[in-house]
Structure 1
Amino acid sequence: MMTDTTGGGFLERDGASGGSGLASALCAGTMMGQLPASDALSILVQKHLPPPSRPVRDLSGSWHATLDTSDVDADQVLEAASTNSWRKIAVLARSTLERAGMELDEVVEWWTVRLYALARLRLYSMLRTELASVPEVLEGQEMPFGLLVLRATEAKFRGDTRSAVEQYTVLIRMCRERGGEVWRSRAIRVGMMLAFALAEARDYNAAIELLDPLVERLLSDEEGEGVQLVIVAARVWIQAGDLARALELIERAEQILPSESAVHAHIKQAKMVIATINGDFADGDGEAEGVVGALNRAVVQFYRAQLDAAIATLDAQLEAQPALVASADAVVFNTATLYELAAGDEAAVVGRKRQLLATIARWAAEPGPSSSAFKL
């Protein structure tokens, strides 16, 4: 069973100095590709659902009745990001850049937004092409830190973990040489990304050796900033099988966080995972609400051999909060898996999974769950 966890990604933007010539060059529409007219979810819909059952998916990237994005404000962009409407953001960034008339700092900022949106859309080939074009124009200028981080992460997207590790290491060295609180904070975050890359390559010893001093520093911060990263980092100890250390870190982080922090839901999730691995299926976290709480209960019910109850829990959550569930890979994957395990012939299982696909396609923004989540 998959479990829902939070990831630790970030992009920070620096200023860039230079003349209007560079800004104009970066605003050329020829530097940016057209987004594909379909996504992985719409391809699945066309393959597995008959025409009358196919929900309409808006892949235009438009914000209003037209493609005019000139009146989109910052609050709308934040709302779009919170609902995974990354195609809208990618389209907005391109249209803003093509209007030109901006200083170089602002142009680079919008380029960062554009490239990050491509990464979230999983359009890695387009990301690589556009990301490579920016340094060519900025030759002689210092690359903004956010773009340097994204360039290192792009290597991981295409499976070149070794290059990503090397580039993260260079960035950490740069941060340490610059000094100052901002650069120390950046060093910690890039160090986290490096550790996660090592963990993905199953080099847990190296990942933990790197993470240990980082999490201790985060836990010693009196203001508690970055404590949520400790919860994310605890996953590496869980994957490595050191559940005692993972639980220790989680409990220390819990003591630091204010009671109203939303991170407590993820703490409960992590504790439930550890309890389940230890064979303690009693901790179902019945008080947790929303998608995380439903997933907790379903996982515990599954390990208690209460298959029908687990399916009912996830189905109820899908009905109650379809937009949130539609973007949660773990919930979609677990629901499809439970359908396969439930009693019934193959036709019934396929029918339930097709209905799941139709519901998710109706509610999911881009990129939506990965195609493998549906197991079709």
Structure 2
Amino acid sequence: MMGQLPASDALSILVQKHLPPPSRPVRDLSGSWHATLDTSDVDADQVLEAASTNSWRKIAVLARSTLERAGMELDEVVEWWTVRLYALARLRLYSMLRTELASVPEVLEGQEMPFGLLVLRATEAKFRGDTRSAVEQYTVLIRMCRERGGEVWRSRAIRVGMMLAFALAEARDYNAAIELLDPLVERLLSDEEGEGVQLVIVAARVWIQAGDLARALELIERAEQILPSESAVHAHIKQAKMVIATINGDFADGDGEAEGVVGALNRAVVQFYRAQLDAAIATLDAQLEAQPALVASADAVVFNTATLYELAAGDEAAVVGRKRQLLATIARWAAEPGPSSSAFKL
């Protein structure tokens, strides 16, 4: 029921194509946790650390080796199947994901499929470009949540409703997405405990994409008032405000003090619109040097860096050379999956 992971990935193929052998970074795609293949002593903390570093191949291999052991209870089998399937989704191995999802009913032995796997099955349709099927399945899941009632199911309905709205936004049906999101974000903002406020910040992106910056800023500011001052979500709010300011052409506010990869990307965008191309390139290059592992997992930074290289002075050979150096650096630090191969524009 579980297939072998491919021995290569998109980034390795790109390295093979564009870098000469002496310049190719060594990438470990074995999925091994130790020098041996034994994974019996891997604990939960190690799995969490692997997830935080995007080591999804290791997690997929661990889930398979665990499931192949005898004597497991059904609940434990379902838990590890869920881990395996989620890892395949993160690895963008969508064909394998679809095949192994189809095996879940057999594993469940007639029991109801867990809700998380039902959501993953709906999302799998979106991965392969079947947005209509995904929308239909999300709608069925929302109806199920409403019929069952209770706080847990209401929370699930909100989250699946947001997934449905994001799927509609990806299909550029912003009117339908906003119509769905409006009551959801109002409900989240009215929650006295403020547990879902971070979802409001995420949802505001749909209004930004639709060009309704005033409404997006209103939602963000209302969320900001609810959050306690020590909340880590304030960093996301600052970044969202920078994006809105930049789109509005207010480069003074857009060039804020947000830190990290997103902050560097925002500053580079502002510098670009100020016609400071060299400064924008220097900002992203400095971020790559300072935090290569984080940049290696950020498609937007890689894509924008490659784009700025194209706009900078220099002939085609020089531009390709800079892109290949970018590829070598990213490949050295990237876990799996790394950035999409198209991000390098090679």
TM-score band by shorter chain is over 0.9
Which 10-residue stretch deviates more, 252-261 or 304-313?
Answer: 252-261
- Could you report, residue by residue, the CA deviation over 1:8-27 in whole angstroms, capped at 9, with x for unpaired residues? xxxxxxxxxxxxxxxxxxxx
The separation in 2 between residues aligned to 1:58 and 1:142, in whole angstroms, is: 38
- Could you report, residue by residue, the CA deviation over 1:32-84 in whole angstroms, capped at 9, with x for unpaired residues? 00000000000000000000000000000011212211111111111111111
State which of 310, 313, 316 in structure 2 corresponds to 1:340: 310
TM-score when scaled to structure 2? 0.98
State which of 161, 167, 170 in structure 2 corresponds to 1:197: 167
**How far apart are 1:289 and its partner, in Å?**
1.5
**How far apart are 1:279 and its partner, in Å?**
1.4
The separation in 1 between residues aligned to 2:323 and 2:231, in whole angstroms, is: 36
**How far apart are 1:317 and its partner, in Å?**
0.6
Residue 327 of structure 1 contacts residue 368 of structure 1 at CA under 8 Å; is this kept in 2?
A: yes
Which 10-residue stretch deviates more, 235-244 or 355-364?
Answer: 235-244
- Could you report, residue by residue, the CA deviation over 1:98-149 in whole angstroms, capped at 9, with x for unpaired residues? 0131110110010000000000000000000000111234353111001100
- Unaligned stretches of 5+ residues in structure 1: 1-30
The separation in 2 between residues aligned to 1:330 and 1:262, in whole angstroms, is: 22
Query: For 2:103, what is the secondary structure of its paired residue?
Result: helix
- Could you report, residue by residue, the CA deviation over 1:234-275 in whole angstroms, capped at 9, with x for unpaired residues? 111111111100010111111222223222222122111111
Residue 271 of structure 2 contacts residue 277 of structure 2 at CA under 8 Å; is this kept in 1?
A: yes
The separation in 1 between residues aligned to 2:17 and 2:24, in whole angstroms, is: 10
The separation in 1 between residues aligned to 2:228 and 2:28, in whole angstroms, is: 40
**How far apart are 1:93 and its partner, in Å?**
0.4
The separation in 2 between residues aligned to 1:59 and 1:258, in whole angstroms, is: 42
The separation in 2 between residues aligned to 1:191 and 1:335, in whole angstroms, is: 35
Which 10-residue stretch deviates more, 111-120 or 235-244?
Answer: 235-244
Residue 234 of structure 1 contacts residue 246 of structure 1 at CA under 8 Å; is this kept in 2?
A: yes
Residue 266 of structure 1 contacts residue 292 of structure 1 at CA under 8 Å; is this kept in 2?
A: no
Residue 243 of structure 2 contacts residue 254 of structure 2 at CA under 8 Å; is this kept in 1?
A: no
**How far apart are 1:285 and its partner, in Å?**
4.0
Name the count of aligned residue pairs: 346
State which of 55, 61, 69 in structure 2 corresponds to 1:99: 69
Residue 115 of structure 1 contacts residue 127 of structure 1 at CA under 8 Å; is this kept in 2?
A: yes
Residue 237 of structure 1 contacts residue 246 of structure 1 at CA under 8 Å; is this kept in 2?
A: yes
Q: Tell me what 1:239 maps to.
A: 209
Q: Tell me what 1:72 maps to.
A: 42
Query: For 2:102, what is the secondary structure of its paired residue?
Result: helix
Percent identity of paired positions between Structure 1 and Structure 2? 100
**How far apart are 1:94 and its partner, in Å?**
0.4
**How far apart are 1:358 and its partner, in Å?**
0.2
- Could you report, residue by residue, the CA deviation over 1:207-246 in whole angstroms, capped at 9, with x for unpaired residues? 1010001111111112111211111111111111111000
The separation in 2 between residues aligned to 1:260 and 1:327, in whole angstroms, is: 27
Residue 227 of structure 1 contacts residue 257 of structure 1 at CA under 8 Å; is this kept in 2?
A: yes
Query: For 2:177, what is the secondary structure of its paired residue?
Result: helix
The separation in 1 between residues aligned to 2:52 and 2:152, in whole angstroms, is: 26
The separation in 2 between residues aligned to 1:339 and 1:265, in whole angstroms, is: 29
Query: For 2:258, what is the secondary structure of its paired residue?
Result: coil
The separation in 2 between residues aligned to 1:262 and 1:374, in whole angstroms, is: 32
- Unaligned stretches of 5+ residues in structure 2: none
Q: Tell me what 1:82 maps to.
A: 52
Residue 239 of structure 2 contacts residue 258 of structure 2 at CA under 8 Å; is this kept in 1?
A: no
**How far apart are 1:276 and its partner, in Å?**
1.5
The separation in 1 between residues aligned to 2:109 and 2:171, in whole angstroms, is: 33
Query: For 1:99, what is the secondary structure of its paired residue?
Result: coil
Residue 39 of structure 2 contacts residue 62 of structure 2 at CA under 8 Å; is this kept in 1?
A: yes
Query: For 2:275, what is the secondary structure of its paired residue?
Result: coil
Which 10-residue stretch deviates more, 350-359 or 62-71?
Answer: 62-71
Q: Tell me what 2:157 maps to.
A: 187
**How far apart are 1:286 and its partner, in Å?**
3.6
- Could you report, residue by residue, the CA deviation over 1:277-307 in whole angstroms, capped at 9, with x for unpaired residues? 1111112344222112111111110111100
Q: Tell me what 1:25 maps to.
A: none
Residue 268 of structure 1 contacts residue 285 of structure 1 at CA under 8 Å; is this kept in 2?
A: no
State which of 111, 123, 128 in structure 2 corresponds to 1:153: 123
The separation in 1 between residues aligned to 2:10 and 2:96, in whole angstroms, is: 15
Q: Tell me what 2:191 maps to.
A: 221
- Could you report, residue by residue, the CA deviation over 1:293-325 in whole angstroms, capped at 9, with x for unpaired residues? 111111110111100000000100100110011
